[in-house]
Amino acid sequence: MNVLSVARDALASGPLCDSCLGRLVADRSFGLSNPERGRSLRVAVALADNEEFDPPGECWVCENECDRFDWWARQAEARLRGYEFDTYQVGTKVPPLIEENDRLLREDVGLDPEAGELMKSEFNREVGKRLGERTGTTVDFGRSDVLAVCDLSTDEVDLQVNSAFVYGRYRKLERDIPQTEWPCRDCNGTGLVQGEPCDGCDGAGYRYDESVEQLTAPVVRAAMDGESATFHGAGREDVDARMLGTGRPFVIEVDTPRVRSVDTDELQTDVNEFADRKVEVEGLRLATHEMVERVKELPASKTYRMDVRFTEPVSAGALRSALAALDGATVEQDTPQRVSHRRAAKTRIREVYDADGDLRSADDDGQADTATRATVEIHGEGGLYVKELVSSDEGRTRPSLAGELGAGATVTALDVLTVEGEDEPFEDSDFLQ
């Protein structure tokens, strides 16, 4: 490329600002800005051709939008006022006519349509550089806290505030609390059926008055002054099961937060006070957006403690033998009847890592030699249906406790004690502090 020839042809096309002229050779001589390249070319052409120096007039390509980088940075700063952020990006909506002018200029001087630098790229960089200086924040070309888009057609800045994320573990201390809101199927969450209060939910629209989400997310949303909040859990326990022990990992996603640097220790205290001993959270930390998928896809093993009732008395020896048969067993499970309405019919293969238990006497004051009740603990692979591992689900789970005993067995109460990542997928980079 002969840069002087390119400059002559470009200047012959009509009045050009230094930015539009310099963008044509933006890949030459690093360390210069496009206005510096453009002015240098303009001076070089005047000297080489011994012509009077011609300062730029009103640019036919950008219509002098490239003179307004400072103005756009001030507009973006004003639009972001009231939002806390550490990282940002700037985008630009260039009017079709100006984009066409940018293309025609390259065509006029015989350059490739992508030669040099496009106006949108220069705009993003120059406004972004100024915005960072004005706000003391850092540009992030991955997922930034905020995205300010300069719309050259309307002279407005469109703002996108990305979500904030808080990670932790929860314990559910009471039964009959779902993990998330559970809309009533009878009324589709409206509370009404043919204009009358729904009998299925007494007009509330929900099958349960509270959920883990409702007992935690509102406090996090309020602390971050967000518009809404969504609860993401690493799987979920049954509604009638408690989540005890080390708790279950979760992430609360806050939409359009105005505050990001919350004190997570204080937030944890506030959540626990709000949940009123129905739910407890611990280990709250600010997290990245990647943590949502990591938590939702967590390949976790789980330990369960179950109260089991048998249809006939079982001896302690028989129970020990049956549990020994399950300890380390590979289990085949057809989709359980209780979830067949929402799960595809298939056979799942899962591992039982450990199985232990004891019979319980009728008055629950200790162990017994023969009884119709037992406490059983199972440590199994994620996705193992433990209720069916006990009952056999009419033969859909093989082997099962009921099958090994030759007696009916039913789980009357279930607690989840641990939810642990099989390969410890969380890393320091998943957290912000």
Ordered domains of the chain (ranges, CATH): 3-161 (3.30.2300.10), 164-298 (3.30.70.2510), 300-421 (3.30.70.3190)
Catalytic machinery residues:
238
Phi-psi region of 247 (alpha: psi -120 to 50; beta: other; left: phi over 0): left
Q: What's this model's pTM, rounded to 2 decimal places?
A: 0.86
Q: What tens-digit pLDDT sequence spans the chain (433 residues)?
A: 689 999 999 999 999 999 999 999 998 888 899 999 999 999 999 999 888 887 888 999 999 999 999 999 999 999 999 999 999 999 999 999 999 999 999 999 999 888 899 999 999 999 999 999 999 999 999 999 999 999 999 999 999 999 999 999 999 999 999 999 888 888 988 888 888 899 888 888 888 889 999 999 999 999 999 999 999 999 999 999 999 999 999 999 999 999 999 999 999 999 999 999 999 999 999 999 999 999 998 888 999 999 999 999 999 999 999 999 999 999 999 999 988 877 788 999 999 999 999 998 876 666 778 999 999 999 999 999 999 999 999 999 999 999 999 999 999 999 999 998 755 567 777 788 6
Please, are residues 387 and 396 in contact by the beta-carbon 8 Å criterion?
no
What DSSP designation does 336 have?
P
What is residue 431's DSSP assignment?
B
- How far, CA to CA in Å, does 304 sit from each of 313, 327, 351? 23, 14, 14
By C-alpha distance, which of 281, 278, 244 is closest to 265?
A: 281
Cα torsion 338, 343, 344, 347: sign: negative
Residue 2, classed as helix, strand or coil, is coil
